[in-house]
């Protein structure tokens, strides 16, 4: 435990209207939201969240880093006023423009019109769309910054790190050089409301930390890795995210955890000379199931391709999502029922928003009775999810014949060829593409 | 109608298309790795790198230029949902 922790611990509780010093000259001026249960539609929280905003005082002015959700602006301004005057504010940094952090920005800029706003290069078009000024107001002025840019507060320097897509295109981190404090935005945050505020004094929040990563950061693993390589070399005394506990006790543990969570452990388990194809299907009378088996047999004829076949009826979605994250290709089989693919297929597809599908191959197949819409709908959805669909989907009317099972095997071989690149070097007419 | 050849070098596939076809209309059908978000020239998701035939695509609009700049495009990057194919070219995801 460090020295600050041993000090009078009651002085470290969040109190209404009072800022809390988290490092010399650095104050937390955020808000607690203990009654929130659902965040951004996709996240649940059993004890609410916090909106962390910070104030940094230098010899030549004050910087405010991030604000709070609009409904919590009063808390934010009261805490701000307890440690600074509006006319002292020279710098406002928004690390992320999502409304939970930009909610009090318009009012802050009205109260501190002399302050300059610093946002990432990718944030400009969002700023305009989020903070549409009234007709009688002038538009917000701002300066865009990227890695290497810095702003001085006299004796202290804020440096910017360009860390896009964590979890919006506009996200960045800000580093207070002299104190080794990283204002990380949503990165390293979690929805966990605890008025003890510091990680070493809060209750165990590891589950909330991992859960937040799994739903907010996981789709952006490659961006997480890039951001970590910018952050890891920095001397770090404190990581100050925009939600949940402030990480002052061994802050590097949380960087390490992000690295662990972003590493592809599954892929490393398999020898990477193989490409992996996963086939999932649903089948009521076994027709789509027979297609699935024939597609597997066809694909498996190709050296270097490893195929696994799963009946969606027999499993939970979460482990399937993990499997898909480390696979190279995904084939989905569904009969057409009432003009649509069946719900377990859509459930699986809508669970894939938490992983990065870019570059993975997709394929669809299924048995049908008279219209057969399911296959096309699945293909469209796969494209919508940014998968490549190299082989046109395969539909078979009712019970597959031997000849039609041959078509399935050929479909499997074609998919395997696209996976291994064996189909390279061809020329096609646009009109011949499905 | 005039024909053009577009090669997607990431998957090494070539498609013969009528001149004027947008890249987006071809790349998804052939299963190339270029990806799309808004599909209307706003988000920059579909950025592609033109390896050859830069002048065989329609000129970028002012709006496309702006989106390319905001997304820190490098030289010879274009938006695949905007660029139309006029002659032979070779492209890949940026
Ligand atoms: C977790 C999360 C992820 C988002 N992902 C996207 C996205 O991929 N593409 C996009 O255009 N907008 C994305 N958004 C932005 C929302 O669509 C946007 O904030 C919208 O205005 C929310 O509308 P609502 O107020 O009706 O919920 C995302 C927002 C959140 C909270
Ligand atoms: S897909 Fe959004 S710009 Fe092309
Ligand atoms: Fe956010
Ligand atoms: Fe947030």
CA-CA-CA-CA dihedral for A294, A300, A302, A305, to nearest 10: 130
| Average pLDDT of every residue of chain A | 93
Q: Write down which residue in A247, A263, A279 finishes a domain.
A: A263
pLDDT value for A140: 75
Same domain, A311 and A349: yes
Tens digit of pLDDT for each residue in A242-279?
Answer: 999 999 999 999 999 999 999 865 455 556 678 999 99
* Ligand 2 binding pocket includes B60 (Cβ within 6 Å): no
The interface predicted TM-score of the complex, written ipTM, equals 0.87
Say if the Cβ atoms of A427 and B26 lie within 8 Å. no
Q: Write down which residue in A193, A228, A263 finishes a domain.
A: A263
| Residue A290: band (very low, low, confident or very high) from pLDDT cuts 50, 70, 90 | very high
Q: List the single residue in B with minimal CA-CA distance to A393.
A: B29
Ligand 4 center–CA A98 separation, angstroms: 6
Does the domain at B3-93 match CATH 3.40.190.10? Answer given as no
Has residue A193 been placed in a domain? yes
| Residue A1: band (very low, low, confident or very high) from pLDDT cuts 50, 70, 90 | very low
Instruction: Note the maximum CA span of chain A.
Output: 82
Has residue A331 been placed in a domain? yes
pTM exceeding the 0.90 threshold for the entire prediction? no
pLDDT value for A6: 45
Say if the Cβ atoms of B15 and A389 lie within 8 Å. no
- Nearest CA to A131 among A155, A164, A98? A98
Give the minimum alpha-carbon distance from A200 to chain B in angstroms, rounded to a whole number.
Answer: 40
| Average pLDDT of every residue of chain B | 94
Ligand 4 center–CA A318 separation, angstroms: 24
pLDDT of residue B41 exceeding 50, the answer is yes
∠ CA A201-A207-A209, rounded to 5°? 75
Has residue A2 been placed in a domain? no
pLDDT value for A9: 56
* Ligand 1 binding pocket includes A40 (Cβ within 6 Å): yes
Q: Does A246 touch chain B (CB under 8 A)?
A: no
CB contacts, 8 Å: B35 with chain A: 358, 386
Ligand 1 center–CA A105 separation, angstroms: 19
Say if the Cβ atoms of A361 and B26 lie within 8 Å. no
Has residue A164 been placed in a domain? yes
pLDDT value for A268: 54
Q: List the single residue in A with minimal CA-CA distance to B42.
A: A125
Q: Does A388 touch chain B (CB under 8 A)?
A: yes
Which range marks the domain in which residue A317 is found? 269-433
pLDDT value for B91: 98
Same domain, A300 and A406: yes
∠ CA B33-B35-B40, rounded to 5°? 145
SS (H, E, C) A358-378: CCCEEEEEEEECCCCCHHHHH
Give the minimum alpha-carbon distance from B57 to chain A in angstroms, rounded to a whole number.
Answer: 17
pLDDT value for B1: 72
Mutate to test the pocket of ligand 2, among B22, B23, B36 (most ligand atoms within 8 A of CB): B36
- Domain locations in chain B? 3-93
Tens digit of pLDDT for each residue in A367-426?
Answer: 999 999 999 999 999 999 999 999 999 999 999 999 999 999 999 999 999 999 988 898
- Nearest CA to A385 among A359, A413, A416, A424? A359
Say if the Cβ atoms of A430 and B28 lie within 8 Å. no
Same domain, A184 and A255: yes
CB contacts, 8 Å: A430 with chain B: 15-18, 21, 25-26, 29
Q: What 3-state DSSP class applies to A174? A: strand
* Ligand 2 binding pocket includes B47 (Cβ within 6 Å): no
Same domain, A212 and A299: no
CB contacts, 8 Å: B26 with chain A: 430, 433
pLDDT value for A123: 92
pLDDT value for A265: 56
Find the CATH number of the domain harbouring A381: 3.40.50.360
Find the CATH number of the domain harbouring A244: 3.60.15.10
Lowest mean pLDDT, pick from A12-16, A185-189, B17-21:
A12-16
Provide the token pair at A165. 């897509």
Q: Write down which residue in A263, A295, A322 finishes a domain.
A: A263
CB contacts, 8 Å: B81 with chain A: none
Has residue A1 been placed in a domain? no
Same domain, A240 and A281: no
Percentage of chain A with pLDDT > 90?
A: 85
| Residue B94: band (very low, low, confident or very high) from pLDDT cuts 50, 70, 90 | very high
pLDDT value for A53: 98
Which residues of chain B approach chain A closer than 8 Å at the C-beta?
5, 11-18, 21, 25-26, 28-33, 35-36, 70-72
| Residue A3: band (very low, low, confident or very high) from pLDDT cuts 50, 70, 90 | very low
User: Where is mean pLDDT largest: A29-33, A127-131, A419-423?
Assistant: A29-33
Give the minimum alpha-carbon distance from A246 to chain B in angstroms, rounded to a whole number.
Answer: 32
Residue A52 · residue A243 · CB < 8 Å: yes
Residue A253 · residue A245 · CB < 8 Å: no
Percentage of chain A with pLDDT > 70?
A: 94
Ligand 2 center–CA B47 separation, angstroms: 7
pLDDT of residue A152 exceeding 60, the answer is yes
pLDDT of residue A205 exceeding 90, the answer is yes
pLDDT value for A97: 96
Same domain, A302 and A203: no
Q: How remote is the C-alpha of B68 from its chain's centroid?
A: 12
* Ligand 2 binding pocket includes B42 (Cβ within 6 Å): yes
Has residue A58 been placed in a domain? yes
Same domain, A17 and A68: yes
Give the minimum alpha-carbon distance from B12 to chain A in angstroms, rounded to a whole number.
Answer: 5
Q: How many domains does chain A have?
A: 2
Has residue A4 been placed in a domain? no
pLDDT value for A270: 57
Say if the Cβ atoms of A427 and B16 lie within 8 Å. yes
Same domain, A364 and A235: no
Has residue A104 been placed in a domain? yes
């Amino acid at each position: 435990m460090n020295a600050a922790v041993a000090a009078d611990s009651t002085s470290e509780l969040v109190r209404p209207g009072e800022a809390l010093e988290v490092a010399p000259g650095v104050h937390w001026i955020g808000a607690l939201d203990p009654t929130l249960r659902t965040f951004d539609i996709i996240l649940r929280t059993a004890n609410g969240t916090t909106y962390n905003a910070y104030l940094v005082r230098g010899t030549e002015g004050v910087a405010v880093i991030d604000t709070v959700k609009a409904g919590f602006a009063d808390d934010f301004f009261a805490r701000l006023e307890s440690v600074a005057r509006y006319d002292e504010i020279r710098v406002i940094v928004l690390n992320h423009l999502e409304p939970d952090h930009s909610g009090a920005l318009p009012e802050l800029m009205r109260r501190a019109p002399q302050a300059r706003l610093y946002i990432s290069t990718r944030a400009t078009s969002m700023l305009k769309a989020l903070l549409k000024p009234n007709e009688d107001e002038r538009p917000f002025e701002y300066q865009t910054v990227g890695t290497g840019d810095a702003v001085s507060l006299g004796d202290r320097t804020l440096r910017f790190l360009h860390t896009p897509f964590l979890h919006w295109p506009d996200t960045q981190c800000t580093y207070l050089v002299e104190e080794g404090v990283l204002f990380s935005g949503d990165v390293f945050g979690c929805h966990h409301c605890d008025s003890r505020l510091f990680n070493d004094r809060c209750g165990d929040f590891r589950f909330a930390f991992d859960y937040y990563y799994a739903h907010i950061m996981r789709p952006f693993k490659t961006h997480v890795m890039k951001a970590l390589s910018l952050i890891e070399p920095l001397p770090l005394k404190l990581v100050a995210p925009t939600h949940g506990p402030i990480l002052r006790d061994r802050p590097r543990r949380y960087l390490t955890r992000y690295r662990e969570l972003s590493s592809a452990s599954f892929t490393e388990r398999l020898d990477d000379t193989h490409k992996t194809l996963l086939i999932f299907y649903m089948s009521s009378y076994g027709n789509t199931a027979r297609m699935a088996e024939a597609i597997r047999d066809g694909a498996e004829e190709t050296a270097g391709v490893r195929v696994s076949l799963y009946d969606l009826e027999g499993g939970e979605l979460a482990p399937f999502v993990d499997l898909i994250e480390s696979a190279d290709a995904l084939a989905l089989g569904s009969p057409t029922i009432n003009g649509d693919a069946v719900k377990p297929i859509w459930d699986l597809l809508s669970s894939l928003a938490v992983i990065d599908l870019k570059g993975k191959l997709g394929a669809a197949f299924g048995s049908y009775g008279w219209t057969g819409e399911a296959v096309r709908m699945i293909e469209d959805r796969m494209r919508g999810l940014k998968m490549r669909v190299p082989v046109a989907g395969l539909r078979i009317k009712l019970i597959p014949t031997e000849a039609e099972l041959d078509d399935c095997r050929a479909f499997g071989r074609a998919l395997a060829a696209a996976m291994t690149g064996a189909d390279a070097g061809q020329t096609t007419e646009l009109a011949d593409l499905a | 109608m005039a024909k053009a050849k577009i090669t997607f070098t990431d998957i090494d596939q070539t498609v013969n298309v009528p001149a004027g076809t947008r890249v987006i209309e071809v790349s998804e059908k052939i299963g190339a790795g270029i990806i799309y978000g808004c599909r209307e020239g706003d988000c920059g998701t579909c950025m592609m790198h033109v390896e050859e035939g830069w002048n065989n695509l329609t000129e970028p609009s002012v709006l496309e230029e702006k989106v390319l700049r905001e997304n820190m495009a490098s030289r010879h990057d274009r938006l695949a949902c905007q660029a139309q194919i006029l002659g032979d070219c070779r492209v890949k995801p940026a």
